Amino acid sequence: MGQRLVLDGVGVRFGDAAALEGVTLSVKPGEKLAVIGASGAGKSTLFRTLTRSVALGSGSVTVGGRNLYALSWRELGATRRRVGTIHQAYNLVPELSAGMNAALGEVGGLGRLATLRTLLLGPDAGLSRRVEGALQQVGLGERVRARTADLSGGQQQRVAVARLLVQRPGLILADEPFAAVDPVTAERVMAALLDLNREGATLLVNLHDVAAARTFPRIVALREGRIAFDGEPKDLTDEMLAGIYEGDEKRVQHEEEKLGSRRREPMRVAEGRDGVSAH
């Protein structure tokens, strides 16, 4: 189920500015890793290369053994359907119900007629059960028919996660998914992502929170578009972190302010499903 990723000498430029430069990275199927770095370090651009949403200036990107940037548009569409993404903006359709938004995780893999039928008449019995189960897992079982625009930001985030649970992708790209949600929602979202990872999905999470990143078995840090660290959390020293975030004074201050509360009650991202079912 999990997708293997290989980036070889990847470079991306926006005008005269280098967003990524000489990035080489290999991720095994089913692996989970956290990506950290200061604002503007290239983290989101890195994720965009994995869906071919940005032009490459150099290098190659291989997803599931296929050269992503050499695929036809039809082949690219099939590959993208095996990739699940979650962003701060959620990418939901506000006028549709929570259930229909979650169902869209499956609709991408249906044929045209089946997709049209689903949009006009709603999901069939099998898909409806999966949607209800996914929303129940993220604590929104009673909001299946609620208009998504009427939900809170944290609830919308959980609908986006339910969409992933319906989709069951081989690769999950979670780009700063906790920046605008409360700690309880963050724990639920992370628990659901880890559930998918345990089922075999490859998981990459772009995190602002270094303490949360340290709970992952592997951390990749970017600085000015280059990989500054790639390894286990125990090898990421305070000196290395200072270099990675050098010049990002707001980020350093934010981490210092959170340090006390993190020591008292750290984010438990690897303890199973408890965070999904509560609240």
pLDDT in tens, the chain (279 residues): 688 999 999 999 999 899 999 999 999 999 999 999 998 999 999 999 999 999 999 999 999 999 999 999 989 988 988 899 887 677 888 888 999 889 888 765 555 666 666 666 667 788 889 999 999 988 898 999 999 999 988 888 889 889 999 989 999 999 888 776 778 878 888 888 999 999 999 999 999 889 999 999 999 999 999 999 999 999 999 999 999 998 765 444 444 444 444 443 444 443 333 333 223
Angle separating helix axes 98-107 and 125-137, nearest 10 degrees = 120
Query: The tokens of 134 are what?
Result: 């996914």
What pLDDT, on a 0 to 100 scale, did the predictor assign at position 259? Answer: 42
The structure tokens 């409806």 sit at 128
Site of tokens 């992933």: 164
Amino acid 266: pLDDT: 43
Is there a contact between 204 and 47 (Cβ–Cβ < 8 Å)? yes
The sign one gets for the Cα dihedral 20, 26, 27, 33 is: negative
pLDDT value of residue 120 = 65
Question: CA torsion 33→55→163→215, rounded to 10°?
Answer: 10
Give, in order, the Cα–Cα distances in Å from 136 to each of 50, 118, 143, 144, 252: 30, 21, 9, 9, 37
pLDDT in the model for residue 269: 41
Q: Residue 71 gets which letter from DSSP?
A: S
The pLDDT, as a whole number, for residue 217 is: 97
Nearest to 166 by CA among 149, 186, 142, 144: 144
- The residue among 20, 72, 27, 67 whose CA lies nearest residue 48 is 20
> Which residue has tokens 């909001």?
143
Where does residue 225 fall: left (phi above 0), alpha (psi -120 to 50 degrees), or beta otherwise? Answer: left
Helix axes 183-198, 153-167, angle to 10 degrees: 0
In the chain, CATH 3.40.50.300 covers 1-82+169-273
User: Which tokens sit at 46?
Assistant: 């890195």
Q: What was the pLDDT predicted at 118?
A: 66
User: Residue 121 has what pLDDT?
Assistant: 64
SS3 12: strand
Is the CATH number 3.40.50.300 carried by domain 1-82+169-273? yes
Listed in sequence order, the residues at least 6 apart from 21 whose beta carbon sits closer than 8 Å to its beta carbon are 11, 224, 225, 226
